[in-house]
Amino acid sequence: MNPKWRLWLGGTLLVAVIAAALYFPALRRQVYKAKDLTEKTAEQARRELLPVTPPSTGDPKIKVKMFWGSHGREGELTPVLVELPLSNDPVLRAKQVLNTLLAGPVDSESRTLPPDAALLAFYILPDGTAIADFSEELRTSIPSGIQSEQVAVESIVRTLEANVPPVLRLKILIHGQEVDTLAGHLDLTQTFRVSAKDESGLKLDNPSAPGSVLPAPIQKAVEKVRRATQR
Amino acid sequence: MGRRNGCRFDILLSVRSLPILFGSLLISGACLLALAQATPPGAQNTPAAAAVAATPGSAQQPSASPVFPRNGLNIVVLDPAHGGTDQGARGTEGITESDEVLQFAAATKKALEAQGFQVLSTREGNDNPSFDDRSARANAQRGAVFISLHIASTGLTGTARVYVEPEVPPSATISGLIPWDRAQVPFQGLSRKLGDLVQVELARRFKGSPDTLQTAPVRQLRTTAAPAIAVEISSVSVQNRGDLETMVPGVADAIARGVVAFRPSYVLPTIAVPGGSVQP
């Protein structure tokens, strides 16, 4: 190979290396974007598959108590009266109030839950334990901290307590799964006590304490899901 | 014939070797006894030993911590929260909870050591032990308290709050073992006492902090078999990192004074079991 060709080859290789180095950050950005898009699409597909809460235009309008953050007093909740058409069915009713809670108050500073979070499913078991399944955004978009996470859960619990009496305890799932914490602090492995009464209608001694552990059949089911996901 | 002779020889050999066998057994027994007496008394009775024993798959629980077999409160386990890929709360100015808590932990360690406490940390660098690994660090000690340090992304800037687990009724197993998942239950009263004392000190130094402690089901505290509190400082949302760093000496001093004030009240709780009581 004569020196001229060698020079050409070297030059071409150098240009190729520089072009690759310049293109690499853009390529990385595109890969991350594609990853985000795939995750969002999966989340969207799940939401589309879930039955949408039927419009409750026929239901009578009732004044409901929503618990949002207190303006100027961080870490505290204030009840706000909102007029809503509410169903008599406890599950539909719970979905309606929780969706209103997620939509947030007029004053966005009093918001307790992230605006992009969604309620994916809600059902009530015969023993009064309600299961609320939220989208991943409840974990990822919430400000991290013991106080902010507690305010978020407390606003859900107190809103359910005020408006859906059949709910005695609440179990929060994220994207259909049990998670250790909400955003690194608050324990979501246990149930939260919603009502100050137990199944038989008797008043409990310490209603502010979290519900101890899940009832045995639910605990077994949760363990099954956990094992299956670990495999 | 030859076989019969062989049998006789075997029997004769076993009869002759009996004193040697007995002798070996006696020596082995004496060695085992000596070993058992040399084991630190606290090591067998730590709350962790009880908690871990009750956990299915307890062999997997980490137990790398050294054990200090002394009576009374001598050890403080500091837990700078998060770390590694988990940065915790993040501020707009690039301040991360996982980095900042290390500074608070270092200053608190100094303040506690000045008061004569032995201080252990659940992490020193940018790693992220699991919740159970962090609890195990405290559970392996006798005479320890556990303090988890956090920085929130919300809250009034320049304030600090102490959290303890909400009270739940104690439930011991028949054997008196503490289930790992509910290791904090027997220590709730002591945790509240410690939390109250630290909160009073914090409220004195940082205006706007609450006068009383808060309760919240903090995951880290649930599996800790020792008086345990979480201290949360506000916040990573400060405009200037210096604003947060000015709080470091105050928080360290408040925690150290709170733990010193708590020292006389530290008595290991007894666990009620059918037919008697067990001290963890």
CATH number of the domain bearing residue B91: 3.40.630.40
Q: What is the pLDDT of residue A126?
A: 94
In a domain, B110, yes or no: yes
Enumerate the residues of chain A whose CB falls inside 8 A of the CB of residue B151. 145
Percent of chain B scoring above 70 in pLDDT: 68
What band does A59 get if pLDDT is binned at 50, 70 and 90? confident
> Which range has highest mean pLDDT (A23-37, A148-162, A214-228)?
A148-162
Nearest to A178 by CA among A128, A216, A230: A230
Nearest to B75 by CA among B159, B144, B158: B144
Q: What is the pLDDT of residue B8?
A: 47
Rounded CA-CA distance B123/B83 in Å is: 8
Nearest to B234 by CA among B156, B148, B149: B156
Give residue-wise pLDDT tens across range B186-205.
Answer: 999 999 999 999 999 999 99
Is the predicted pLDDT of residue B62 greater than 90, yes or no?
no
In a domain, B276, yes or no: no
Rounded CA-CA distance B170/B176 in Å is: 11
Enumerate the residues of chain B whose CB falls inside 8 A of the CB of residue A150. 216
What band does A201 get if pLDDT is binned at 50, 70 and 90? low
Q: What is the pLDDT of residue B250?
A: 97
Nearest to B169 by CA among B191, B186, B194: B186
Strand A192-193 with A169-174, pairing: antiparallel
Residue linked to tokens 């293109």: A23
List of residues 6+ apart from B103 with CB closer than 8 A: B245, B248
* Structural element, H or E, at residue A129: strand A129-134
Give residue-wise pLDDT tens across range A106-164.
Answer: 888 899 999 999 999 999 999 999 999 999 999 999 999 999 999 999 999 999 999 99
* 8-state DSSP, B145: E
Enumerate the residues of chain A whose CB falls inside 8 A of the CB of residue B90. 144
Burial pattern B233-251, b for ≥16 Cβ within 10 A else e, equals bbbbbbeeeeebeebbebb
- Inter-chain residue contact A208 with B216, CB threshold 8 Å: no
Residues making up chain B, counted from first to last: 280
Query: Which residue from A145, A180, A206 is facing B152, i.e. has the nearest CB?
Result: A145
Side chain identity at residue A93, one-letter code: R
ipTM of the predicted structure? 0.73
* Structural element, H or E, at residue A192: strand A192-193
Enumerate the residues of chain A whose CB falls inside 8 A of the CB of residue B199. none
* Structural element, H or E, at residue A134: strand A129-134
At A22, list the tokens.
């310049």
Is the predicted pLDDT of residue A71 greater than 90, yes or no?
no
Residue B66 CB burial class (10 angstroms; 0-12, 13-18, ≥19): exposed
In a domain, B105, yes or no: yes
In a domain, B40, yes or no: no
Q: What is the pLDDT of residue B55?
A: 43
Number of domains present in the structure of chain B? 1
- Inter-chain residue contact A212 with B153, CB threshold 8 Å: no
* 8-state DSSP, A53: P
User: How many interchain CB pairs under 8 A, A with B?
Assistant: 81
Is the predicted pLDDT of residue B159 greater than 70, yes or no?
yes
In a domain, B123, yes or no: yes
Q: Which one of A146, A180, A192 would you mutate to disrupt binding with B, by most B Cβ within 10 Å of its Cβ?
A: A146
Q: What is the pLDDT of residue B276?
A: 53
Nearest to B182 by CA among B219, B150, B232: B219
Phi, psi for A84 (deg, rounded to 5) = -135, 145
Domain around B113: 46-269
Percent of chain A scoring above 70 in pLDDT: 75
Is the predicted pLDDT of residue B164 greater than 80, yes or no?
yes
